[in-house]
Structure 1
């Protein structure tokens, strides 16, 4: 695997994460290169003693380095505000998932179905098999249908946690006594791993999240099997 794959984001599994990666790769990185180049030019040329006496008092130069940062901020602000709005928007969800953070595990409730709820603990080392991921796999995976608008309601039972799945572009705090809300649309099947991203105590590192994206038929079969338990 290329070294770049370890330095960049995870492969996206939702339209919002695709937009976040596009914003990072095509706007932020380009602006960083421009700012770095301008800084290099200023440090090597503009602050040269002989040019400095003339150019720092030149009206055009002062106009440029006043307006250029403002233009850069506009190019950052407009797509940022658009993404922030899309991340908070919940548009006609088909399915609602409620997740509650505990010290130190997650519990899930499928509000649209009766008696579909479970706790999800990290698999201990002695239960791992060759296909399991150390410190990332759980005993009960959260199964969700792909190509479906899903509303996720997040809360906590004790302290502040953070429900985070990088491939889906989801990171929301789980706060006791408060319901936070986000939405996601998973556009491909697969396993997507996440972890609590808020320091919530001694076992903060041991409450992973596993989302299993399946087809709608497979999801309905899974719900039927859990409803009958």
Structure 2
């Protein structure tokens, strides 16, 4: 009994699927990449985690705002029985409107502050420090042990009396 021959389109689809699958799990950055590549340091891992936390709060806030806008548009429609003039002051709503954003800001600020302070702990003494100074027409560079200027010196730019 003969085995059926697979269609060439089926092979092409399999190749496209496998290419997409391999590119999805590759560890190198690619152009137009949607998210971060795999972190190489604990600092990068902390940044990615903080990004995920902030994105969660962003999605929750955006969903809540869209829901509130739709709810207000349907509840206070001109054809409904309720009049918007009846709803002009609500102390509890004002309290909630002030407290919840404060809590959200604190929930975002604490992990980001911890992450920023952890960067200071991880950075040791640098092996080389270069101070780059931008002058009007040239750059100058200073290192810890010696001073080295760029090849263009101010005395070489113009001779005396020439502008």
- Asked which structure has the greater RCO (Cα within 8 Å, sep 6+), the reply is 1
Alpha-carbon distance in structure 1 between the residues aligned to 2:131 and 2:50: 31
Q: 1:52 to 1:34 in 2, by over 3 A?
A: farther
Whole-angstrom CA distance in 2 between matches of 1:54 and 1:177: 70
Structure 2: state its 5+ residue gaps. Answer: 1-22, 77-81, 135-140, 145-163
Q: Larger strand proportion, structure 1 or 2?
A: 1
Separation in 2 of the partners of 1:14 and 1:7?
20
Q: What does residue 39 of structure 2 align with?
A: 12
Q: Provide the aligned length of Structure 1 versus Structure 2.
A: 105
What is the deviation of 1:2? 3.1
State the superposition RMSD in angstroms: 3.2
Cα distance change on mapping 1:44 and 1:82 into 2, 3 Å: same
Partner of 1:85: 117
Alpha-carbon distance, 1:35 to partner? 1.0
Deviation at 1:89, TM superposition (A): 2.4
Q: 1: CA distance between counterparts of 2:132 and 2:114?
A: 32
Tell me the equivalent position of 1:40.
66
Gapped runs of 5+ residues in structure 1? 99-153, 160-175, 180-229
Which structure is higher in helix share? 2
> C-alpha separation between the residues in 2 aligned to 1:58 and 1:73?
23
Is the partner of 1:9 in helix, strand or coil?
coil
Q: TM-score, normalised by structure 2?
A: 0.52
Flag the 1:90–1:14 CA change in 2: closer, same or farther, 3 A. Answer: closer
State the shift of 1:90 in Å: 4.3
Q: TM-score, normalised by structure 1?
A: 0.38
Whether 1:30 aligns to 2:56 is yes
